[in-house]
Chain A
């Protein structure tokens, strides 16, 4: 069975080898997508009533094919996807803030250029995802409004502060690492536009995780003060990163239906376990310690036993009471309001150009 630090076989099944890199897994998902496009699920009839449409939808999902924007889909499936994709998009946009905080103070020009590129990627990821959500019949303005007035959430992790430069490393390694573990299975999501956006995003996330890991590795092998700074950041980001996988399966409200629809492929607890098993070995290479005295290999389970994150804290942060919730939202609202004149000017300019066009 599995060896320490490697239980991907549990989570990804036989089509994922045990030592596959992230990029291999994404490439596999991309191949699976192309293969699925080669299959066809015949329709029962041209004119289908609701029951027949539902049966056709179920057959497509069961055949591992993709549901596309103009297909019939259950209203609850559409709603669930809008909620999940929008929350994901909002997370990318808000996620620019904790790291953006360090652009002006990056320790070298190289690190600054890399961080700028990474933060720009986050904006790009947000846009891919907004575009995927819009294919479900919701407008960009509605999505932005729902973030700004708090009707939709973003990942709770971005409500924690980046206190030191090492935090930029810890975000890349742990936060992006946890996001990747969550997102690689989403490359196989039953909704085509979401699956395609995730493939694109995962390919780019690989750079994010590696740049963070390199920052921590450099610090951990630097002066004693730098090592201590790296360890402190891992101490602060470890449990919030574990909480990114959401509440335990026993309390997860959306999971079961999402699994049936093949939006989600693995439970919160399965993904969290995979993340822990992955990190233990990586922390060893860094020469840093995971802040969990009860972390140990369990021969019987073929996985590490670990301490659960504080889910009461997670609920508090989701409710808006994390260390940075108010600052993040205030910044987002201010940025949106301050950009209004640019959007209006661009619209006005476009309108004038249209008026000037010669009538042909």
Chain B
């Protein structure tokens, strides 16, 4: 039929100046230029963005959800990374 799936791209849109690009979905396209055009037509028909990134899905390396707990474990026992860990002495301002 269509002669093989064309490449899968992940689409990120910056909604407005001052906000970061956010993942909005994916699409198929043969190259980056076509992917950008498709992304504009599929994901920004109502002025949802001022800037688009497209990234080949194959280029994304992801952590595994199955190893989520072990992977993020090093952060779990370091409560001293949060400011609320510390006792602020009475009378100390601007802390």
Contacts and interface: CB of A to CB of B under 8 A. Distances in A.
B45 A144 contact: no
A62 B27 CA distance: 32
Contact of A350 (B1, B31, B69): B31
A197 B95 CA distance: 44
Interface residues of A, number: 31
Contacts, number: 67
The range of chain B's interface size is 20 to 34
Contacts of A197: 25
Nearest to B68: A43
Interface in A41-64: 43, 46
A340 interface: yes
Given A141-B5, A340-B2, A70 B65 contact: yes
A124 interface: yes
Interface in A184-204: 197, 204
Contact of A128 (B4, B42, B64): B42
Interface in B1-49: 1-6, 8, 25-31, 34, 41-42, 45-46
A353 interface: yes
A48 to B, nearest CB: 9
B26 A134 contact: yes
A336 interface: yes
A46 to B, nearest CB: 6
A241 B6 CA distance: 37
Interface string A145-159: 100100000000000
B70 interface: yes
A346 B30 contact: yes
Contacts of B2: 141, 144, 336, 340, 343
Contacts of A336: 1-2
Given A343-B30, A346-B29, 6 more contacts: A70-B62, A70-B64, A70-B66, A117-B45, A347-B4, A354-B31
